[in-house]
Structure 1
């Protein structure tokens, strides 16, 4: 447990272990984010609809097993979940360059790989977010989540930039091998995690359906948590509609290189990093809820510059809009995750995180499928505009919720949890 006087997660050895393993995993994931769709576009001549279907398959697992995964994680040791998920992702990604070298790579193979990799990612993401409060203590959650989201931003920059460069230098299938090796390295690092982890406390006798329902009621029954999940889901829906067809626009319609696409996405990582680093001082001055209510309206409309992307100055304008839109997401990620972890008792963390992941990643799947469909019917530009409009308005649920007035809204959740479960999170930090 962290030193309560400093509230610093860096004093905790297990947090440092989880952080370095997540660094490796994130680098691999972000390299694959660039490489896998470019395998489809460049090596397999996929259409916009097929690229959209591939992106949808990568997130479909959260719709298929997202909710029961939360209940399963609550019953399992988190260390085993994380290691198993990373090993599975390493093996699945390694199969892509192997099949390519054997001249056996097909779109069907890619669909299977991204679907099963998504299943492993379900367990890794839910397990990682569920183990964090137990590692650092709830008083250090904002600092820990700020570090994790900053890591994700740096990984976006390094991983996606490296992914574009690897595709340019070595071809897309070979670049996927980097993803496999990074996940393998992460699994090896996680061996050192949580040697003294307590046994799971979830009630094993409770039916799975009842446990899933409890997690859903916890999230959707709270005005604050409901606003957080709706805002994040709308953000994911709009951003995914844009991201899915950017490879088609950059490489096929504008004739830009894979490196240019990687750098564009990496610029978004800079925005994510900036937002994550600003989250803690902004929340200290304004409160968590007020910061969330202000950042959305100020920065979300910047995403409307992205559909204007073209050669020359418009490429820079679109890049600036992407940076600002990602800065908003970076700030929201830190504060939203910290709020929902503080509002949830330990025995519900897995199911709460799984409910959020189910809805958020479900929005990614819907956005990818919708992007592919609109791309085929209406064209790439129209699809980008539709996604940008959705993302630009996604702040409304939080703005219209009790979170915008600060502490009052969260008191409802704290009291209800304390009365129901004897759970009393520290309410000292302003929301």
Structure 2
């Protein structure tokens, strides 16, 4: 679509897109609520100690690193909607085991850990499939609008899901509260399976290729294509730096600024509404000013606002208000970056390899997160929290600096074309 052409009609008029949006939103609500409810079941119903809670939390996240590359290749062999439906159905069944086991008196920590791992694994399948489904459902010219809506609801779920999970545990017994997550997965299953628009089956050559070969194809495409390579490197730099920053930040707020737990929660919650605003802006600004300009500018602004945090002192109302403003702005600009990066990645990646590209970029980004957290902890112990927070905030500039020097900065108001697939 040319920049002078009239904008495409709203996706909200598309019944199939609405079904995808409802399903994706419900799925994220269920996943976010479950991440809170499962550990609370361990604490409240099973009297788990801190080490057991640590293991449970680690097991919830482990499938991202263990399965992402395989899942990316697996999803590319199948219709993405079928994968989402099966993942939702599987999570519903697995979570239903918890209240049943509790009523039978056989619920224990090992069973809860197994449930957490299986739910985490099925969530990886759903997330990779949902990130490939939009490009199979709408035209390239409507990707920005679609991603704006989907990422906005994802941000809302990240705010509402944990709060809903905590509230349900307070109202109900913890093992019964997990039924809420199962309900949301069921709603997602019912909505996505009602999508009517045909989704072609991947070509036989894709379905019959060896998984290892397909994984290498995904890696090779990212390495060879300048835009995808820039997306992968900038995402990895951000995840590494952000993990280091948040490790120090979560210590800085209570120990240096002496904020209460409620105040810390209020400060962090401000990021959510900012992300919603960023999602709305992401559907408009790139078409007006160009994808590259908006992407780099938003990345610089998102990282720049964090540089002011180390200068704050005390726990006054003014300090809390300033921190909320910083987190709100960070949410706005970082969400702009996220939506634009996802849209560009979808536009340049061939449909047949979308899953592998998504999974590879997620794998690289999440793979560096533990190293970033370790760096943040080491800096905090060696240099003190305030100095470490400043240094980790400065490291956030690595991602926008790389973007500014990469082909991403030169993107105009039209989405780039699809790159060729790598040779087998």
> Normalising to structure 1: TM-score of the pair?
0.79
> Deviation per CA, 1:245-295, whole angstroms, max 9, x where unpaired?
9999999996635xx776555432101111111123221222111211111
1:360 corresponding residue in structure 2: 365
Alignment equivalent of 1:330, drawn from 335, 341, 349: 335
Alignment equivalent of 2:192, drawn from 187, 190, 201: 190
CA 1:73–1:237: 2 relative to 1, 3 Å: same
- Partners of 1:70 and 1:354 within 8 A in 2: yes
Q: Does 1:344 align with 2:349?
A: yes
Rg bigger for which structure?
2
1:304 deviation in Å?
A: 5.3
2:128 corresponding residue in structure 1: 126
Alignment equivalent of 1:65, drawn from 54, 67, 85: 67
- Spell out the pairing of 1:161-310 with structure 2 (5 A cutoff): 161-170=163-172, 174-194=176-196, 196-201=198-203, 203=205, 204-240=207-243, 256=261, 264-303=267-306
- Partners of 1:58 and 1:365 within 8 A in 2: no
CA 1:361–1:178: 2 relative to 1, 3 Å: farther
1:236 deviation in Å?
A: 3.1
Q: CA-atom RMSD, angstroms?
A: 4.1
CA distance in 1, matches of 2:28, 2:220: 31
CA 1:21–1:152: 2 relative to 1, 3 Å: same
Q: Which moved more, 1:245-254 or 1:60-69?
A: 245-254
Q: Does 1:149 align with 2:151?
A: yes
1:426 corresponding residue in structure 2: none
CA distance in 2, matches of 1:59, 1:274: 28
Aligned residues: 410
Gaps of 5+ in 2: 1-5
CA 1:30–1:379: 2 relative to 1, 3 Å: farther
1:402 deviation in Å?
A: 2.0
> Deviation per CA, 1:105-130, whole angstroms, max 9, x where unpaired?
42x44543333222111211111121
Q: Does 1:317 align with 2:322?
A: yes
2:403 corresponding residue in structure 1: 398
CA distance in 2, matches of 1:356, 1:310: 39
CA 1:137–1:393: 2 relative to 1, 3 Å: same
Gaps of 5+ in 1: 422-431
CA 1:186–1:367: 2 relative to 1, 3 Å: farther
> Normalising to structure 2: TM-score of the pair?
0.80
